A = this chain, B = another copy of it.
Amino acid sequence: MGLDCGVHLPEVDIAFRTYGALNAEGSNAILVCHALTGDQYVAERHPITGREGWWTQVVGPGRPLDTDRFFVVCANVLGGCMGSTGPRSPRGETGEPWGTDFPPVTIRDMVRAQKRLVEHLGIRRLFAVIGGSMGGMQALEWAASYPDAVFASIPVATAAHHSAQNIAFHEVGRQAIFADPDWQGGRYWQTGRQPLRGLAVARMCAHITYVSEVALTRKFGRRLQSAPKDNREAIDLFGDMFEVESYLRHQGSSFVRRFDANSYLTITRAMDYFDLAADHGGDLAAAFRGSRTRFCIVSFTSDWLFPTEESRTIARALNRAAANVSFVEIPTDKGHDAFLLDEPDFHRTIAGFLAGCAVHAGLDSP
């Protein structure tokens, strides 16, 4: 597969999961695109963490992406670490992992790989593509790159490019990984010591940006708890620690069990470089001109990582391109992560939009 950077990958594995059944016409498929640290385990137990799928509230029988009606597909992104080709994959015949020699991938490369998967599954046109955050970037890129292969697109809590602040937060995470001597220039498999501390710090920093201040305050406020005695790192200069600190440490330490540091570098880079307007002569509307795809753009009021203004910019560009677009801002105080949480308004929005699209697409009722 040819990549945007010019490198040709002779073989590409794309790990995926499906839910529901593809109909005879192959017209009821919905592609779910995961976010930075997500994966293909959308609606089932995760093989490493043992936790529920990350979107069980959205995908399943009777859910907004109703698996009694739709064939739902989710693939681990190119560059990921849950089975798709990425920095951890063996390079050629040596069997050694790519590591940081893995070519840089773009959001478009990820979508290109998904397109091949979708064709392989016998789907000529997706009924819908949906995703939040980086998944939303992919939902936009799908519509821009393959307008005739996407009937409907639902980009959620996303943007047409990464902002300077978003890049800055990613860069702090990358520097935290580079600062960990166990990173070893990215060749950590040679010693078996992984840069777990650096990766955990990266995750902690990113995690703060996923949550609103109100949500953090509601959840933890300034409540104290005793610092664990057996944890040398939990140095407690005051004998106690704040609950929010303990929570962040847990976020960091549980994350590193399931994620690869080089994948984190590769994928954050892909997000940072995403700039759909720049790919179309600086005009975002040009990315969608003539498109017959139906769009539903969703943002959340308290999302400060991908603020509503970014979604509004997308909606305006789609309007300029005379595309078919709905734009919904969901009132919530949960922040960016709201797309992963129990947000009935959001779920009703998806279900309603898809119901309308199903009629227009001539899909049979369930």
Contacts and interface: CB of A to CB of B under 8 A. Distances in A.
Given A179-B197, A204-B175, A275-B222, A245 B104 contact: no
Nearest to A268: B237
Contacts of A162: 222
A109 B278 CA distance: 54
A244 interface: yes
A222 B167 contact: yes
B165 A213 contact: yes
A179 B249 CA distance: 12
Contacts of A213: 163-165
A257 to B, nearest CB: 16
Contacts of A233: 175, 178-179
| Interface residues of chain A: helix, strand, loop or mixed (majority) | helix
Given A171-B245, A204-B172, A180 B178 contact: no
A242 interface: yes
Contact of A238 (B186, B208, B273): B273
A361 interface: no
Interface in A274-309: 275, 278, 304
A217 B167 contact: no
Copies in the complex: 2
Interface in A158-188: 161-165, 167-169, 171-172, 175-176, 178-181, 185-186
Contact of A171 (B171, B185, B248, B272): B248
Interface in A217-260: 217, 219-222, 232-233, 235, 237-238, 242, 244-245, 248-249, 252
A230 to B, nearest CB: 15
Given A176-B179, A200-B179, A168 B216 contact: yes
A8 to B, nearest CB: 17
A233 B238 CA distance: 35
A172 B185 contact: no
Given A235-B100, A238-B273, A272-B242, A200 B175 contact: yes
B167 A242 contact: yes
A269 interface: yes
Contacts of A169: 208
B237 A172 contact: no
A163 B208 CA distance: 13
B208 A168 contact: yes
Contacts of A219: 164
B244 A167 contact: yes
15 contacts: A163-B216, A164-B213, A164-B217, A164-B220, A164-B221, A168-B244, A168-B248, A169-B208, A171-B245, A172-B205, A175-B200, A175-B201, A179-B179, A237-B269, A242-B272
Given A104-B237, A176-B176, A179-B197, 4 more contacts: A162-B222, A167-B222, A168-B208, A176-B179
Interface of A: 5, 100, 104, 161-165, 167-169, 171-172, 175-176, 178-181, 185-186, 197-198, 200-201, 204-205, 208, 213, 216-217, 219-222, 232-233, 235, 237-238, 242, 244-245, 248-249, 252, 265-266, 269, 272-273, 275, 278, 304
